[in-house]
């Protein structure tokens, strides 16, 4: 590179350079040979700052944000040597992200319902060129998660840009609630906290909202969300269109919604005309919210709620027909939306066993002709590994599966090719024959 740039340098191995050339944006701790101060002003590397990444032969590979305490040492944010990392740069990234949601989701709302962009993920970390930042929209409130020291340093600049971008498109936002309470932040040396972001020092003049409870609508269904205490940012937006797929086949069926959280699959099934829906979750707080959401939508007359461990509950129903009837069965549509059974490559085999067992238990409860909607939300549990576990479950349950649909995460959680970590949700609907 002939131009002299103002950023410190990170010199990386040939292995890292090959990975970067393939499109992956990460440099790992063990791939860093050395760091060097900026050749322009002698600035040393500081935690969270922008650095230039060079292969040892002098080839520039991109610029990224460095995390001195993380195993992912650098996350690339640009491969264009002309970029300057000012407000205009980050504003473009935010605008591109919002434009993507409008294109991918803006015309897909159900007839008579709210726009699908009213509740969606508007920033998805590396997939939107903002590594370490998640921002979800719930009507007029945003919920953010910051996972890297680079984004922690930049959020004061990026948050106002997000609100300004939405305002310019006619979208009013009352505030941003930070859910920086994930233990993963410790990998970057960051502490844990949550609460409303203080905009008092900005030009936006936003008052701090007085409640972390928000009512949102998705697929025409209202949800009362507790964005302070619920899992993740308060809701699982990535299943929006998968819930519609369940809704489309639920009419006249008796539905068992397992790992229901606050009830979105079950409520969609009920709204789709299900004869009865039983929602099950191990969390009493989630079950209570699911019940409130059913009443909010006047669907409670066809729904029931059980606090139980699904891994124990399904085998119990298979053994005890009286209990099955008490719970509203027999069921002819079962939804399995479990939490990620694996968060590392080393536990994939154990996770495969878990997915095989819950799917096998569900298949044994279903009659011939019944339907199973099942998924995995871990990128370590790849599509092929999940399919293998489901196929083994069908073999063990002595049933055959006819595929109805194969789906993925909603497009507000875009999959960036060359970065397998951005593809984490696979969803199948089968008929048991």
* Residues acting as catalytic residues: 377
CB 354 within 8 Å of CB 374:
no
* SS3 (DSSP) at 386: helix
- Tell me how far apart the alpha carbons of residues 228 and 217 are, in angstroms, rounded to a whole number: 18
Which structure tokens are listed for 112?
């008579």
187 burial level (CB within 10 Å; 0-12, 13-18, 19+)? middle
- Tell me how far apart the alpha carbons of residues 394 and 295 are, in angstroms, rounded to a whole number: 36
CB 239 within 8 Å of CB 427:
yes
Which structure tokens are listed for 37?
């101060």
Question: How many C-beta atoms surround the C-beta of residue 416 within 10 A?
Answer: 18
- Tell me how far apart the alpha carbons of residues 328 and 358 are, in angstroms, rounded to a whole number: 19
Which structure tokens are listed for 232?
């993740």
Q: How far is CA 73 from the centre of its chain?
A: 23
Kindly give, in sequence order, each residue whose CB lies less than 8 Å from that of residue 324, ignoring residues fewer than 6 positions away: 317, 318, 330, 365
């Amino acid at each position: 590179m002939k131009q002299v740039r103002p950023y410190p340098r990170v010199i990386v191995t040939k292995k890292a350079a090959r990975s970067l050339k393939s499109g992956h944006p990460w440099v790992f701790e063990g791939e860093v040979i050395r760091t060097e101060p900026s050749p322009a002003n002698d600035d040393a590397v500081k935690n969270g700052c922008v650095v230039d990444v060079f292969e040892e032969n002098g080839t520039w590979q991109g610029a990224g944000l460095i995390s001195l305490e993380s195993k992912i040492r650098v996350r690339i944010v640009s491969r264009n040597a002309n970029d300057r990392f000012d407000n205009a740069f980050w504003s473009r990234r935010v605008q591109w992200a919002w434009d993507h949601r409008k294109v991918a989701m803006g015309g897909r709302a159900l007839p008579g319902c709210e726009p699908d962009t009213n509740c969606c993920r508007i920033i998805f970390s590396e997939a939107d060129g903002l590594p370490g930042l998640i921002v979800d929209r719930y009507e007029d409130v945003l919920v953010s998660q910051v996972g890297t020291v680079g984004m922690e340093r930049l959020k004061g600049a990026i948050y106002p840009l997000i609100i300004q971008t939405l305002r310019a498109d006619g979208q009013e936002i009352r505030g941003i609630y930070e859910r920086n309470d994930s233990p993963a932040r410790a990998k970057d040396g960051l502490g844990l906290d949550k609460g409303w972001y203080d905009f008092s020092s900005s030009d936006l003049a936003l008052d701090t909202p007085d409640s972390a409870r928000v009512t949102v609508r998705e697929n025409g269904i209202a949800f009362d969300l507790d964005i302070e205490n619920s899992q993740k940012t308060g809701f699982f937006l990535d299943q929006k269109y998968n819930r519609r797929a369940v809704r489309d086949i639920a009419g006249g069926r008796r539905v068992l919604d397992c790992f229901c959280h606050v009830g979105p699959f079950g409520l969609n099934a009920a709204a789709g005309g299900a004869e009865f829906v039983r929602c099950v979750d191990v969390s009493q707080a989630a079950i209570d919210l699911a019940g409130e959401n059913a009443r909010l939508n006047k669907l409670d007359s066809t729904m029931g709620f059980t606090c139980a461990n699904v891994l124990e509950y399904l085998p119990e129903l298979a053994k005890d027909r009286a209990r099955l009837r008490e719970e509203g069965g027999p069921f002819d549509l079962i939804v399995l939306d479990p939490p990620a059974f694996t968060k590392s490559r080393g536990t994939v085999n154990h996770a495969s066993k878990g997915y095989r067992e819950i799917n096998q238990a569900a298949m044994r409860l279903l009659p011939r002709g019944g339907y199973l909607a099942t998924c995995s939300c871990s990128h370590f549990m790849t599509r092929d590994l999940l399919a293998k576990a489901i196929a083994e479950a069908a073999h063990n349950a002595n049933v055959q599966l006819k595929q109805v649909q194969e789906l993925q995460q909603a497009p507000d959680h875009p999959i960036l090719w060359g970065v397998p970590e951005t593809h984490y949700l696979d969803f199948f609907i089968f008929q048991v024959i």
